[in-house]
Structure 1
Amino acid sequence: MNPVRLLIVLVAAISAIGLAVVMQRALGGKPAAAPSAIAAPVAGKPMTQVLVAKRDLAIGARLTGEDVTWQAWPTEAVNAAFITNGAALPNPEGADKARAAVTNAANDMIGGVDPAKAVEGAIVRDPILTGEPITPRKIVRGGDGGYLSVVLSPGKRAMAVPVTSETAVGGFILPGDRVDVLQTRDTLSPDADGGAGKVTIAETILQNVRVLALDQSTAAEKDAKSIVAATATIEVSPTDAEALTRAKATGPVTLALRAYTDLGGPSGVVGGVARKAPEDSVIRINRGGQTTNTSVRP
């Protein structure tokens, strides 16, 4: 590079540095502040008090004030089915507007009574986990019916069947499990010699039905793995009830426990069992002036 040109560049650089020093001193010796990379804090979101479970609540549990508590919940995430105290927590911005936006059908249901007191005595219809909001769908308030009428699904009926340790999987069937109901009966079948031999028939009457109770136990005791009972109460439809009544009248019934992973299949009466009249499955045989009735499966 030309020495003259190089000298000019050096002089210009020194002049720029000198100008910067002079300007800094003129501003009081403080360097210019760089733009902040941290955003200003955002005002907190409005919160609403929601009634939640303090502990895990099983089906059939009767609620007390010790089972529920209030918990702050983001107002914008409050579902209409949640039970609230009708007020939002203090918030610098938008609290009144957020309060007005919260519509709560559950509070309408309790008729203006303190929600925490209104649920006392209610029966749990579906399991509720710790911290889960209490909703009308999962509870039925006291006075709306007894345990069985509360936990029965709409359109269903409760029926009791006699069981033993042998016919109830050794007592390992518990309330809430799903079972198949099998009927066993003896009948006569013609043999090769022209006589009649006894034949035992086992038939699945109902499949994938829910066990509501064993004797008067609607839930297994803590850490209990089995219940030996004399009666099992199961949930059936009206058509299932007819099929089960016919089955109980013609032979003993056995409960077969279904796997937990096999609960999503069809539920209720199997095949044409419900429509099959007794006379449709009986053959009358006349032999030597004697008439015998033989039950057969189609």
Structure 2
Amino acid sequence: MNPVRLLIVLVAAVSAIGLAVVMQRALGGKPAVATAIAAPASSRPMTQVLVAKRDLTIGTRLTGEDVTWQAWPTEAVNAAFITNGAALPKPEGAAKAKAAVANAASDMIGGVDPAKAVEGAIVRDPILTGEPITPRKIVRGGDGGYLSVVLSPGKRAMSVPVTSETAVGGFILPGDRVDVLQTREASGSSDGGSDKVLIAETILQNVRVLALDQSTAAEKDAKSIVAATATIEVAPADAEALTRAKATGPVTLALRAYTDLGGPSGAVGRVEHKVHEEAVIRINRGGQTTNIPVRP
């Protein structure tokens, strides 16, 4: 080989090695080859997916603090995930996936901000930290199965007819605590006749209101709801007592203070209301008996 040509080859080889060393140092000691391989991976299209920020147990009512956005490989996005539609891929197949995701999210959230749409929803199945939020895992007011998730274990949901008069003018809202009072008539004797006396007594105390008509939550800034029915949470035995009360007379709801949340709840011991009856004293004189009524 020509000495001049050989010298040129050697100088080029040394220069290439020196350039590789300089590039490696500039990249923090990482091999240039590894960086070149990792570069395509970092440019993969990503989509923001709504996930749980912490472990969520059954019955948890979601707030904005429970969820967050997390970057997710777009090709791995499931149609049931809630996304913000950002950084979607260009290939035709991925475009179809984008449309499916957008449609699923739109159906669930109704066109509002996804993060806000899940606020107030109830967790139906456990959701782990970092797990995507899906419609199957949560239930919102108005959805099927909502009350069965909201109910406390072992409790029952029962509805009672109400009016603005029997529901504190509509100021009772879902989540409030109430007493259930029954009004009925009782008969008694007075002055040899028969009188009807109106009796009011508390049947249930400190029970939770689950819904008013089909509203499971008051609208924003709403202070009252005028409804025809109120659905309350009761124990099985209390449900029987409430059924009997509804059959024998109208019921009224009495709103309790927020501080009564931890107080006794459920059926109240029935108080026997005795109508004023006359006592009779018999006086026997000379073989004649006289009855003299005496009021207690």
Q: Give the TM-score of the pair, scaled to structure 2.
A: 0.49
More helix as a share of residues:
2
